[in-house]
Amino acid sequence: MKRIFWCAIFLAASVLGSPAQTIKVPESWDKLAAKADEVVKVTLDKKMLQFASRFMDNEDDAEGKRIVSKLNGVYVRSLQFTKPGEFTDADVAPIRAQLQGPEWSRIVQVDSRSDSEHVEIFIHMVGNQNMGMVILSQEPKELVLVHLDGPINPEDLDDLSGNFGVPKSVHSPKKTATQPKPPTEVKK
C-alpha cells in the first residue's frame, strides 16, 4: 500500500456533468466490516467538498479545486483485521461483483507480490460519460475502498493522491493514448 508505484493505462477524457449515483458503497461491505477489528468510514458529500474547495485558494490547489468542484462525493471505507487470512477473496467477491456490470470497467490491476498487495481501479461509464471511479486495495490485513463519485479523469488521481482520504500510493496511469484501452495487469 505504502510503496506501490502505479503504472497503467490512460483512458479518454471524460465529459463534464453527471447525475448522482445511487450506489455509493457496496452493501456487502457492511457484512465484511462486521469481521474487521478496525473500521474507518469517511464521507465527503458534495456539500462538504464545496466547503473544502472554498479554502483551496493557493495556486498549488487550483487543479485540486477544479477536480473537487466536479465531484459529487468522496467515500472512503477502510477495514483493518487483526491477522492475515481473516478475510478471503470470497469475502471481497461480492464487492467486486457490484463493480462488474456493463457500466463498470476495470482499468487498472496491480499485484505486488513483495507487499502482498492487490489494487484495482474501476471506472463507471454511462455512454461516453465518466460517472466515477472506485479504487479497491487489498492487503493481507487491510482492505480499502475509495469511491470517487462524479466525473473524474484517471490522470486527475495525481491531484487527489494523499488528499480527501485517497491513499497516497494512488497515482494516475501514464498518459500513453487518447482512447480507452482494455484492462492492463501489472505484476510486480
Query: Which residues share a beta bridge with 84?
Result: none
> How far is CA 6 from its chain centroid?
13
Q: 170 is written with which cell numbers?
A: 494512488
Q: Give least dist CB 59 to other proteins, A.
A: 15
Cβ 89 to other proteins shortest distance, Å: 23
Among 2, 17, 59, 82, binds other proteins (CB under 8 A): 82
Of the residues 25, 76, 99, 143, which one makes contact with other proteins according to CB under 8 A: 76
Query: Min. distance of Cβ 169 from other proteins in angstroms?
Result: 13
Residue 103: partners with Cβ closer than 8 Å, 6 or more residues away? 124, 125, 126, 131
β-sheet bridge partners, residue 184: 108
Binding map of other proteins across residues 120-159, x = CB under 8 A, - = no contact: ----------------------------------------
Residue 134 neighbours by CB under 8 Å, 6+ apart: 99, 104, 121, 122, 124, 145, 146, 147, 148
Q: What is the DSSP letter of 60?
A: G
CB of 123 to other proteins, least distance (A): 23
Which residues bind to other proteins, rule: CB under 8 A? 36-45, 47-48, 51-52, 55, 76, 78, 82, 162-165
